[in-house]
């Protein structure tokens, strides 16, 4: 098992990419901490992991709230003594023309998608420095690399995640902390409910050279590589998993 006895915190693991990643990590031997705002969703992920014989715990966490993040990390340390892996996956989306985006929507998206990444890294990196090693995987998006209409705050937040990943990777490489990010393409999740519309689904499939859209497991297995010892010499990189969208 690639993650045997490793302690992995995954934010937003109640559904979508986060849940798929949590299930894969657990199968590979990790002790998974599901940090999620919705208790029902988060507990469901924990229950599924336990049914397959894995170990997991749920901690209700709003990553945009510093006290929540601090409490979550402290509880993990109390339970397991360390944090080997952090996957910053929690994210939200608001759609609409940029000129119609209000300040509340802007702050909501940036606070969770970008400030949440900052908060968790700020809290966990000192622990990893003491441990002498650690893996951080930030889930960005190809929307941080190329333009998408109608999702300005989301694009800004994911571009920020990519830039913050590179900065932190450079700053803490000397501490043997590997900090990378994944830029998913169009992935079937609760967030991409618009894919239920046949016309929208067809459009995105036409934009993706590979003959299908992405699934949560596609990102989960990429995260597994970045969390494992196999990626020890890789840091500050953006792993694009998009079925070829950005190569056109």
Question: How many other β-carbons are positioned within 10 Å of the β-carbon of residue 152?
Answer: 22
Alpha-helix runs per DSSP H in the chain: 16-27, 39-51, 66-80, 103-110, 116-131, 152-172, 198-207, 216-227
Pair of tokens at residue 215: 């699934």
Rounded to a whole number, what is the largest CA-CA distance in the chain?
52
Confidence of residue 202 (pLDDT cuts 50, 70, 90): confident
Cβ pair 144, 93 in contact under 8 A: no
How far, in Å, are 5, 16, 88, 206, 231 from residue 35 at the CA level? 18, 14, 10, 35, 24
Question: How many other β-carbons are positioned within 10 Å of the β-carbon of residue 225?
Answer: 15
Q: Give the homologous superfamily in CATH for domain 7-242.
A: NAD(P)-binding Rossmann-like Domain (3.40.50.720)
Q: What is the DSSP string of 28-91?
A: TT-EEEEEES-HHHHHHHHHHHHHTT-EEEEEE--TT-HHHHHHHHHHHHHHHS---EEEE---
pLDDT digits 0-9 by tens, 105-131? 999 999 999 999 999 999 999 999 999
pLDDT at 195 over 70: no
Spatial distance between the Cα atoms of 137 and 117, rounded to a whole number of angstroms: 10
Q: In which region does residue 53 sit, left (phi positive, over 0), alpha (psi from -120 to 50) or beta (all else)?
A: left
pLDDT digits 0-9 by tens, 40-94? 999 999 999 999 999 999 999 999 999 999 999 999 999 999 999 999 999 999 9
pLDDT of residue 206: 83
Q: Strand 7-11 to strand 31-36: parallel, antiparallel, or no bridges (unpaired)?
A: parallel
Residue positions annotated with a catalytic role: 154
Spatial distance between the Cα atoms of 33 and 245, rounded to a whole number of angstroms: 32
pLDDT at 15 over 70: yes
pTM of the full structure: 0.96
Scanning the structure block, which residue is given the tokens 């986060």? 18
């Amino acid at each position: 098992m690639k993650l045997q006895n490793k302690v992995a915190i995954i934010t937003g693991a109640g559904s979508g990419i986060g849940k798929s990643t949590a299930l894969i990590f657990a199968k590979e031997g990790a002790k998974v901490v599901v940090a999620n705002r919705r208790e029902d969703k988060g507990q469901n992920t924990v229950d599924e992991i336990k049914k397959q014989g894995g170990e997991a715990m749920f901690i209700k966490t709003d990553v945009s709230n510093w006290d929540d993040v601090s409490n979550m990390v402290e509880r993990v340390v109390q339970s397991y003594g360390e944090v080997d892996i952090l996957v910053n996956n929690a994210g939200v989306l608001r759609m609409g023309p940029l000129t119609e985006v209000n300040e509340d929507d802007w702050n909501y998206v940036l606070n969770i998608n970008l400030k949440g990444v900052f908060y968790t890294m700020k809290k966990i990196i000192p622990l990893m420095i003491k441990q002498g090693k650690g893996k951080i995987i930030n889930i960005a998006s190809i929307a941080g690399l190329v333009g998408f209409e109608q999702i300005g705050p989301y694009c800004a937040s994911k571009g920020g995640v990519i830039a913050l990943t590179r900065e932190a990777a450079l700053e803490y490489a000397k501490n043997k902390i590997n900090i990378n990010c994944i830029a998913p393409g169009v992935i079937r999740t609760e967030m991409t409910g618009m894919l239920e519309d046949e016309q929208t689904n067809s459009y995105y499939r036409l934009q993706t050279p590979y003959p299908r859209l992405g699934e949560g497991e596609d990102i989960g297995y990429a995260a597994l590589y970045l969390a494992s010892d196999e990626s020890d010499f890789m840091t500050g990189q953006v792993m694009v998993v998009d079925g070829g969208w950005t190569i056109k």
